[in-house]
Amino acid sequence: MSAQAERPLLEICGVSAFYGKIQALRDVDMTVNRGEIVTMIGANGAGKSTLMMTIFGRPRARSGRIIFDGTDITGMPAHEIARMGLAQSPEGRRIFPRMTVMENLQMGAALADPEYFEADLRRVFELFPVLEKRQNQRGGTLSGGEQQMLAIARALMARPRFLLLDEPSLGLAPLLVKQIFDVIRELNEKEGLTVFLVEQNAFHALKLAHRGYVLVNGRVTMSGSGEELLAKEEVRAAYLEGGV
């Protein structure tokens, strides 16, 4: 294997980020390897979503470096980062409310080769059949769960090399959570898609992920394989007991 292939797909080195004067991330270090599912768990307000957005430069990392596939993307504008093959289903889903489901998916595919559009569309409709039924409905009229599916589908339409999911289970019925996590596992196993997801739903996330990190007040306090973290007393006490 060449040196390039051994290098992690995403490296975050000593990143700090601020909202105004409030520091949201403190010296965060983490990596995601090719073909891995990595999760970041943490309580509400720990900085998980900030980390997701900081990868896209919003807010920009005030110190440290973010390297994707060997390229320093720390200072790049968000649209150029997207062009490198990163796609995100962000916090709050951010569906375009006055666009139809189909137009939202077309927006997702804006950077992808149009040649694959039909096939990709079929695929996301297979994964989330409800979207096919709703394709001409405006995004803003979908239920929370449907919006979540649309946000993930929209990210997939970009044919990303690296998929970022911010709390895909938020506000969903348990059955849907299982369905979405199954989809993520399938994409990872069958297509080798690299996934980084942040979750409050620590139990599911750690079971799904190869590796995990724990974020507390903007700082990474623990890391390890999914099973290791699940077995740790501190993790169980803080994120699992009574919280699942």
Partner 1 sequence: MEYFLQQLINGLTLGSIYGLIAIGYTMVYGIIGMINFAHGDIFMIGAFISLIAFLILMSLGLTFIPLALLIVLIVAMIVTSAYGWTVERLAYRPLRESFRLAPLITAIGMSIFLQNYVQIAQGARVKPLQPVITGGYTIMEKNGFTVQISNIQILIMVLTVALMAIFSWVIAKTPLGRAQRACEQDRVMASLLGVNVDRTISLTFVIGAALAAVAGLMFLLYYGVIDFYIGFIAGIKAFTAAVLGGIGSLPGAMLGGLIIGLIETFWSAYFTIEYKDVAAFSMLAIVLIFLPSGLLGKPEVEKV
Options 13-21, 83-91, 176-184, 190-198: segment touching partner 1 (CB under 8 A): 83-91
- In angstroms, give the least distance from the CB of 6 to partner 1: 28
DSSP 166: E
Q: Which of 147, 188, 194, 201 touches partner 1 by CB under 8 A?
A: 147
Element (H, E) at 24: strand 22-32
Burial of 22 (0-12, 13-18, 19+ CB in 10 A): exposed
Closer residue to partner 1 in complex, CB, 97/174: 97
Binding mask of the shown chain, residues 103 to 142, with x at each position contacting partner 1 by CB under 8 A: x--xxx-xx--------------------------x-xxx
Options 32-40, 67-75, 94-102, 217-225: segment touching partner 1 (CB under 8 A): 94-102
DSSP string covering 173-227: -HHHHHHHHHHHHHHHHHH--EEEEEES-HHHHHHH-SEEEEEETTEEEEEEEHH
- In angstroms, give the least distance from the CB of 170 to partner 1: 12
| SS3 state of residue 46 | coil
| CA-based torsion, 158, 64, 59, 75: positive or negative | negative
Q: Which of 45, 143, 186, 191 touches partner 1 by CB under 8 A?
A: 143
Options 7-15, 25-33, 90-98, 191-199: segment touching partner 1 (CB under 8 A): 90-98
Residues 238, 153: Cα–Cα separation, whole Å: 32
Q: Are 240 and 232 in contact (CB under 8 A)?
A: no
- In angstroms, give the least distance from the CB of 11 to partner 1: 20
Q: Which of 30, 48, 56, 201 touches partner 1 by CB under 8 A?
A: 56
Which residues of this protein are in contact with partner 1, per CB under 8 A?
A: 56, 58, 77-79, 82-83, 87-88, 90, 94, 96-99, 103, 106-108, 110-111, 138, 140-144, 147, 154, 158
